[in-house]
Structure 1
Amino acid sequence: MRLLVSVDLSESTEKIVDKAAAIATALSAQVWLLHVAAPEPEFVGLDVGPQSVRDSVSKALRKEHTQIQALADRLRDRGLEATALLIQGETADTILKEATRLDADMIVVGSHGRGRMHQLLVGSISAGVLKASKCPVLVVPTHERG
């Protein structure tokens, strides 16, 4: 079995990775941890030079790369086959493309549990993945339930 586990490297990541690890252990599944980094800015409306923008993006990507690799290392320490992926792009589309490329049997994503107004204005990555995925999607609630 192949699990594609999408994480945003926020405080929610631990819950998502823990749930994915439990599933992977039970099913002897391979795990691909995916973090989708923000795409390159198409327009920068600042008075800073392009080099400072490139330096800032590069620094952020290095930090995210270190974080996603550390998560994969922790899964490997638990005896799981885990690969870390860091890809720039639009989040939902990138998750779906990688699931197809990897022939994933399941996608695991988190839900921050934001309100309807946020979803109406901004949208929901988990909803976008659920709507368009060709394989099962597990949505892990990461918010506190009140």
Structure 2
Amino acid sequence: MKKILVAINIEKNADRLIAKAEEIAQAFGSKIWILHVSEPDPDDYLGLEAGPQYAQDKRVENRKKEGELVKRMAENLRQKNIEAEAVQLKGSTVKMIKKEVQNINADLLIAGHHKKNFFYDMFVGSIKQELIDDLDVPVLLVPVKHRS
């Protein structure tokens, strides 16, 4: 397990996922990639407008803050002598995670697991299930609590 990809949502328990990746990386001498997927721009979809300028500016500002935070997380790991890189992509979460797993040839994917009810998964779907079904690498789901 030399290449670990950690898929984080900036505001939701990233610290817990990073800690688990750090634990594994120390045991196996692994490198960690910290991935945050930002929401796509509306104009990335055919026929949709990007919205008013202030909304576009806010998205850009948020992405910049998220990118800086992911870079700091990677730097914190490097200060502990763990190889780490920050990756920020925009688009469909599942699609971007799959793409990055392939790009780095990951040995392990670490992601958070929020307990949802049956109806939520039935109507909204389960990103976790889609990743597990489609990837050829082990997926470690770390239980995390939902933050409002």
Alpha-carbon shift at residue 108 of structure 1 (Å): 0.7
Equivalent AA in structure 2 for residue 99 of structure 1: V
Kept in 2: contact 1:2–1:29 (CA 8 A): yes
Kept in 2: contact 1:112–1:141 (CA 8 A): yes
Provide the rounded CA distance (Å) in 2 between the counterparts of 1:126 and 1:143: 15
Provide the rounded CA distance (Å) in 1 between the counterparts of 2:71 and 2:22: 15
Unaligned stretches of 5+ in structure 2?
none
Structure 1 residues 90, 25: CA separation in 2 closer, same or farther (over 3 Å shift)? same
Provide the rounded CA distance (Å) in 2 between the counterparts of 1:121 and 1:15: 28
* Deviation per residue, 1:9-67 (Å, 9 max, x gap): 1232111111111001100001000000001113359xx63x22321111110111111
Q: TM-score, normalised by structure 1?
A: 0.89
Which residue number corresponds to residue 14 of structure 2? 13
Q: 2:79 aligns with which of 77, 81, 95?
A: 77
Q: 1:108 aligns with which of 107, 110, 114?
A: 110
Which residue number corresponds to residue 88 of structure 1? 90
Q: TM-score, normalised by structure 2?
A: 0.88
Which residue number corresponds to residue 27 of structure 1? 28
Unaligned stretches of 5+ in structure 1?
none
Provide the rounded CA distance (Å) in 2 between the counterparts of 1:107 and 1:57: 27
RMSD: 1.6
Structure 1 moving runs of 4+ over 3 Å: none
Provide the rounded CA distance (Å) in 2 between the counterparts of 1:121 and 1:74: 38
Which residue number corresponds to residue 133 of structure 2? 131
Between 2-11 and 117-126, report the one with greater CA deviation. 117-126
Equivalent AA in structure 1 for residue 81 of structure 2: G
Equivalent AA in structure 1 for residue 3 of structure 2: R
* Deviation per residue, 1:112-146 (Å, 9 max, x gap): 112222212222222221111111111111138xx
